[in-house]
């Protein structure tokens, strides 16, 4: 009798824990996506310039296009905002569901940045948001990727090439420094890599064709 009662209590506890985990993970997904949808390139261009960054240059609402269109101050504010939203999302996700919650929040923050709910689902490419997530969850991996990025961009002046190469090696480096294998986190890292590479598909075509624009701190003439 006591064994049956104990088994019933265990099942109830397990069921309750599973339901709680599922609900909290769903909440993490929603929070991550809504925070990611706060696309600061669009916000800053609308508030400070009465304009829409997506009408200029590459049409991308990210730091690079902000730099080319409005200059360093706009690019700096965009970078700061896009990083902070990822940091907040990861902190909330980690508090609710541990490391896995942090990765899930980061993933959907990137999705929100690329497809922002508030701005007709047209945003940036997610690199700065992904970098901020890495900084918080994997500082060593972030530092290694930052060194790789700086070296590539320093020699080639192609931001897109640095971003693409870092995302290709990201899952490998993460797996090397993760300690105990965690297949869910590995899958999430692969999803982030595939997603960001997909968003850079046109950049990859231009890199292969030799027509990609090189990075410069100078502001372009805005039409």
- pLDDT means over runs of 10, the chain (223 residues): 44 55 86 94 92 87 88 92 95 91 95 92 91 93 95 92 94 83 88 94 92 73 46
Q: Does the predicted model carry a pTM greater than 0.75?
A: yes
Q: Which two tokens stand for residue 30?
A: 């929603």
Smallest CA-to-CA distance from 57 within 202, 155, 164, 166 is with 202
Beta carbons within 8 Å of 150's beta carbon, 6+ residues apart: 162
Q: Is the dihedral of CA 221, 53, 49, 67 positive or negative?
A: negative
Residue 218 has a pLDDT of 61
Q: How far apart are CA 154 and CA 157, in angstroms?
A: 6
CA end-to-end distance (rounded Å), the chain:
80
Structure confidence by residue, pLDDT tens digits, 38-51: 999 999 999 999 99
**Residue 215: per-residue pLDDT:** 76
Q: How far apart are CA 137 and CA 212, in angstroms?
A: 32
Q: Give the pLDDT confidence score for residue 6 in this predicted structure.
A: 46
pLDDT of amino acid 189: 93
What is the per-residue pLDDT for 12? 46
Write the DSSP string, 143-202. Answer: HHHHHHHHHHHHHH--HHHHHHHHHHHHHHHHHHHSSS--HHHHHHHHHHHHHHHHHTHH
* Cβ pair 114, 125 in contact under 8 A: yes
Up-side HSE of residue 168: CA atoms within 13 Å toward CB?
10
Residue 146: burial class (beta carbons within 10 Å; 0-12, 13-18, 19+): middle
Give dist(CA 146, CA 104) in Å, integer: 22
Is residue 93 within 8 Å of residue 104, measured between CB atoms? yes
Instruction: State the DSSP H helix or E strand holding residue 204, giving kind and residue range, or none if neither.
Output: helix 201-209
């Amino acid at each position: 009798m006591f064994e049956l009662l104990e088994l019933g209590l265990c099942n109830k506890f397990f069921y309750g824990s599973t339901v709680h985990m599922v609900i909290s993970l769903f909440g993490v997904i929603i929070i991550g996506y809504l925070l990611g949808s706060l696309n600061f390139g669009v916000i800053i261009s609308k508030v400070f310039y009465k304009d829409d960054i997506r009408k200029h240059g590459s049409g991308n609402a990210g730091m690079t296009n902000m730099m080319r269109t409005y200059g360093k101050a706009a690019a700096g504010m965009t970078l700061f905002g896009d990083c902070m939203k990822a940091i907040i999302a990861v902190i909330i996700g980690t508090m609710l569901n541990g490391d896995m919650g942090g990765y899930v929040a980061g993933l959907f923050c990137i999705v929100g940045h690329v497809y922002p709910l508030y701005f007709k689902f047209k945003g940036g490419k997610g690199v700065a948001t992904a970098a901020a997530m890495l900084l918080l969850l994997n500082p060593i991996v972030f530092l290694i990727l930052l060194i790789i990025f700086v070296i590539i961009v320093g020699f080639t002046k192609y931001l897109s090439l640095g971003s693409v190469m870092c995302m290709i090696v990201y899952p490998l480096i993460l797996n090397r420094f993760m300690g105990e294998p965690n297949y869910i986190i590995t899958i999430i890292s692969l999803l982030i890599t595939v997603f960001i590479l997909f968003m850079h598909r046109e950049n990859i075509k231009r890199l292969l064709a030799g027509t990609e624009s090189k990075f410069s701190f100078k502001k372009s003439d805005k039409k």
